Amino acid sequence: MNSIFQINKMLILVLLSIGVTSPSFAGLFDDWTDNQLCEWMDQPSPPRIIEALVSKRLISCSNGVVKQWGEASNVLDGSYSFTLSRLNPSKGSRDLGRGVLEILDGKISVAKESRWLDTSSTKYYDTFKGQIDKEGNIIASFEVNALHGKGSPRLVGFSGSMDEHQIKGKFDDYFEMVIKIKPFKPLEPVKKVGEAANSFDGSYAFIIRTEPTDGEKNIGTAQLIIKDGKISVARKYRYLLTSAISSYDTFEGVIDKEGNIKASFELNPIRHMVEPKNIKLSGSMDSLQLRGRFDEIKSWDNNTKEYVLDENFYPYDVIIDFKKENY
């Protein structure tokens, strides 16, 4: 085996000397052990052939030897929204895609619906393969392109953990690829709200945001007015990025003497041409937050000249954080 390793090592040097670095030659080195691959990965600039093999095998290297990972575990099975971005420390970060990770028996794939990818066809999400162990450590591979309008997807190895809420991989010497992960939270059961009460009458400043974000930390700010337990939005101090300011006129809510709140708000909370819908919100004075879900999203179809259900969007949680204003 050692002699074969030495021969293939020489073959890599020959391929590199004539400028051949395509991962399509990776099959020549299928007999190499994981540690033999990791010896090459310890070089300052490992050959693309070796990087592709390491990614394909779902292994990670450290100091020239393979890093040990636990077996796939179903402890964290479920659905997780993600955003894909590229990062260069001097240029900053740029979002490239979004979707939903599905974990089943510790194996990770990308759901067929709710996909967006800016640099390639969304079919490349089908190349995503990963696994997670019982400690939440993740290793994965994915054919992805970091560049707009040029280049082509390449197999990138990712690693990280649920504790970090992200996995990272090296696209090239310039860009790092980052996948940020967030679990879908089931909406808490709506508490029964009693009759409107004036116990909390007053003015409350608020911001609106979404989870996951759509590229903005918040999409709106304004002021809630509570009078005799009925809640509306003040006409001054209004800002709304994704819909007409007049959308605030559709906000209706009620709060009971215990501070439980229910409300509704017709809104498009994302920066796409989608149909606004009436979002049911609930929360309390204890949490200083209202939460609802924007789902079953319909986008504008230029062919039919109407809004149609669009499976390329996954649900967004709409969150209103508020606080009492003291004068």
Amino acid, single-letter form, for residue 292:
G
Greatest mean pLDDT among 20-24, 134-138, 152-156, 180-184 lies in 134-138
Residue 108 is predicted with a pLDDT of 96
- 259 sits in the region (left: phi over 0; alpha: psi -120 to 50; else beta) called left
Residue 27 is predicted with a pLDDT of 58
What band does 239 get if pLDDT is binned at 50, 70 and 90?
very high
- pLDDT of 116 strictly over 60: yes
- pLDDT of 261 strictly over 60: yes
Q: How far apart are CA 23 and CA 41, in angstroms?
A: 15
Residue 58 is predicted with a pLDDT of 76
By CB atoms closer than 10 A (0-12, 13-18, 19+), residue 238 is: middle
Tokens of 133: 């162990």
Q: What are phi and psi of 56, to 5 degrees?
A: -60, -35
pTM above 0.75, yes or no: no
- pLDDT of 193 strictly over 70: yes
Mean pLDDT score across all residues of the chain: 86
Average pLDDT score over residue span 178-189? 80
Residue 10 is predicted with a pLDDT of 60
Q: What are phi and psi of 23, to 5 degrees?
A: -65, -15
Average pLDDT score over residue span 209-221? 84
Q: How far apart are CA 195 and CA 27, in angstroms?
A: 71
- pLDDT of 2 strictly over 80: no
Residue 19 is predicted with a pLDDT of 47
pLDDT (tens digit per residue) in 88-112 = 999 899 989 888 899 999 999 998 8
Q: How far apart are CA 191 and CA 98, in angstroms?
A: 32
Q: How far apart are CA 253 and CA 290, in angstroms?
A: 11
Domains of the chain, residue spans: 2-67, 78-183, 198-324
Q: What are phi and psi of 54, to 5 degrees?
A: -60, -45
- Give, rounded to a whole angstrom, the gap between the first and last alpha carbons of the chain: 80
By CB atoms closer than 10 A (0-12, 13-18, 19+), residue 45 is: exposed
Count of other CB atoms within 10 angstroms of residue 4: 12
Average pLDDT score over residue span 199-213? 92
| 19 three-class SS | coil
- pLDDT of 306 strictly over 70: yes
pLDDT (tens digit per residue) in 8-28 = 556 555 555 444 445 555 556
What band does 245 get if pLDDT is binned at 50, 70 and 90?
very high
Q: How far apart are CA 263 and CA 281, in angstroms?
A: 5
Residue 20 is predicted with a pLDDT of 47
Q: Say yes or no: domain 78-183 is CATH 3.10.450.
A: no
Q: How far apart are CA 24 and CA 14, in angstroms?
A: 16
What band does 6 get if pLDDT is binned at 50, 70 and 90?
low
What band does 165 get if pLDDT is binned at 50, 70 and 90?
very high
Average pLDDT score over residue span 196-214? 92
3-state SS of 256-317 is CCCCEEEEEEEECCCCCCECCEEEEEEEECCCCEEEEEECCCEEEECCCCEEEECCCCCCEE
What band does 137 get if pLDDT is binned at 50, 70 and 90?
very high
Amino acid, single-letter form, for residue 58:
L
Higher pLDDT, 309 or 166: 166
- pLDDT of 53 strictly over 70: yes
